[in-house]
Amino acid sequence: QLQPVESGGGLVQPGGSLRLSCATSGFNLRYYAIGWFRQAPGKEREGVSCISSGGSTTVYADSVKGRFTISRDNAENTVSLQMKGLKPDDTAVYYCAAEWSPHPDFCTLVGDKGHYPYWGQGTQVTVSS
């Protein structure tokens, strides 16, 4: 069973930066599309960004466009989410999710309806002064 593991969360001041990483062991992530999702207290889970298995396609939620950058390093078997210009509204638990993808150019921010069967435990990101 593929088990993504997130790291890099923490407390940061507004305007600051954090870099989240998603890794796993025993599975080669190069064959998986990866999505980052987040859930704030009292709110529904939302898709933040995703990257296709081939790395050529990236998608961002409107709320993070221009501030977040997703990337993958297949040699290191990791996917990262660089977050800059963080706002208090970015405070949430961030989850990495994986989906086997034979299509190297496809990823989606839809976290259900059969997508992303593999989820990490999440990492807390808190943006506060």
**Tens digit of each residue's pLDDT (9 = 90 or more) over 30-81:** 899 999 999 999 999 999 999 999 999 999 999 999 999 999 998 889 999 9
34 within 8 A of 52, measured Cβ to Cβ: no
Pair of tokens at residue 34: 């990866």
Cβ distance 22 to 78 under 8 Å?
yes
DSSP letters, 67-126, are TEEEEEETTTTEEEEEE-S--GGG-EEEEEEEEE-S-TT---S--STT---EE---EEEE
Beta bridge mates, 11? 126
How far out from the chain centre does Cα 34 lie?
Answer: 7
Name the nearest CA neighbour of 51 among 94, 80, 8.
Answer: 80
Sign of CA dihedral 80, 69, 37, 33: negative
pLDDT band at 1 (very low <50, low <70, confident <90, very high): confident
pLDDT of residue 27: 86
